[in-house]
Amino acid sequence: MEKEVLSSTVYSKEKILHHPQKVQSLLEGRVTPPIYVRVKPTNVCNHGCFYCTYADRKGNGNHSFSGIHERTVIRDKIPEEKMEEILKDFRDMGIKAVTYSGGGEPLLYPYIRQTLERTLEYGIDLSMITHGQFLMNPEAEPLKHAKWVRISQDAISEEEFSRIRRINGKHFETIKRNAEEFAKIKDKDCVFGINFVVSEENVGDVYEGAKMWKDIGVSYVRFSPVWGPNFEQYHAPHRDNVEEQLRRAKEDLNDTSFEVHDSFQTDFELEGRSFRTYSWCPMMQVVPVIGADQNVYFCHNKAYSTDGKMGSIKDQSFKKLWFSEETTRIFREFDPSKSCNHQCANDRKNIKIIGIVENGKIPLEKIMASNIPHVNFI
């Protein structure tokens, strides 16, 4: 008898089909509110991951590894009054979901509790990506009502944690305890998982990492390859080993309460490419990013990059910027085949949407047949 397992739909590219009005607006070339916004409330972080794509170039040179997000300024944070204005705009525009993430560590944002509470009060689906060290602090308490929470962790020991994160290894046990406690107190429909970035530092620990986090009580572990220059060459010596560990982990550990999600192999197929095959980016109209510098960016891959800036909301509202003539022009003229010579987390989703637009028909039968969690987080 075949073992029952969780359906692999958390990261489904089919989520856009649950928003036919948005797809219809793309078909017609109309600008409508985004469905989902990623907000980076602060660039401050107490961890120093060697591969961090958001680290301040002047601070520790991490950009020499990642080569993106070149304009990150560590001290930046969204002012309290501006955050309140942003959330009111989200409510009034009918934006359905928000993720608070880095930039820095969102739970270090000084106004984070009131921000989380206001998000829930306005009926906006809530989620967060965090390193987990402060997950059980009082400021994080509203997160138990989130639709999903993901901890970014990629070690199985204090020594490995300290080497990758460049912080005292004692915090590793704190994060594990926090995860175990949060798994017990979160709402039943809050999907709680781990993102495990695979690098040369931890290539031998993929299987054990999945097992450890399953035992702690999370719903899934997502394995992703670290991004950097010479992407394929960097991973080539270890790729077979990692893929074999992932195969065993899925076979041994996947069940009705836990899933090993393999983004490692799929990133090599599409997202890992440093070029785009299309000249239009519909996803920038679906999921934009607001940075701690009060600029709006096309996506999180282009956050804090000069060529990814949609505009500033320092002296205007998000709503005003979004519906401005200049933003409409950017949507029309931006060409990812010329400007996106880097990893793209939205590649598969763009290809999906462009296929629908070119076909001229929304596949409503697929919407009715699908059962995908948190469809507003596209």
Q: Interior CA angle at 199 toward 194 and 204, to 5°?
A: 85
Tens of pLDDT along 288-334?
999 999 999 999 889 998 899 999 999 999 999 999 999 999 999 99
Tens of pLDDT along 354-368?
998 888 777 766 555
Whole-number Å distance between alpha carbons of 310 and 324: 11
The reported pTM is 0.92
Extract the tokens encoding 245: 């560990």
Please report the pLDDT score of residue 266 as a whole number.
Answer: 82
Q: Interior CA angle at 195 toward 344 and 133, to 5°?
A: 125
Please report the pLDDT score of residue 70 as a whole number.
Answer: 62
Whole-number Å distance between alpha carbons of 353 and 365: 16
Tens of pLDDT along 186-201?
999 999 999 999 999 9
Residue-averaged pLDDT of the chain: 90
Question: What does each of the 378 residues of the chain score in pLDDT, given as a tens digit?
Answer: 455 544 455 667 788 888 989 999 998 999 999 999 999 999 999 999 988 888 654 444 444 455 556 667 888 999 999 999 999 999 999 999 999 999 999 999 999 999 999 999 999 999 999 999 999 999 999 999 999 999 999 999 999 999 999 999 999 999 999 999 999 999 999 999 999 999 999 999 999 999 999 999 999 999 999 987 788 899 999 999 999 999 999 999 999 999 999 999 888 776 556 788 899 999 999 999 999 999 999 998 899 988 999 999 999 999 999 999 999 999 999 999 999 987 788 998 999 899 988 887 777 665 555 567 789 999
Cα 130 to Cα 47, 50, 143, 147, 314: the distances in Å are 11, 17, 11, 14, 25
Whole-number Å distance between alpha carbons of 253 and 287: 33
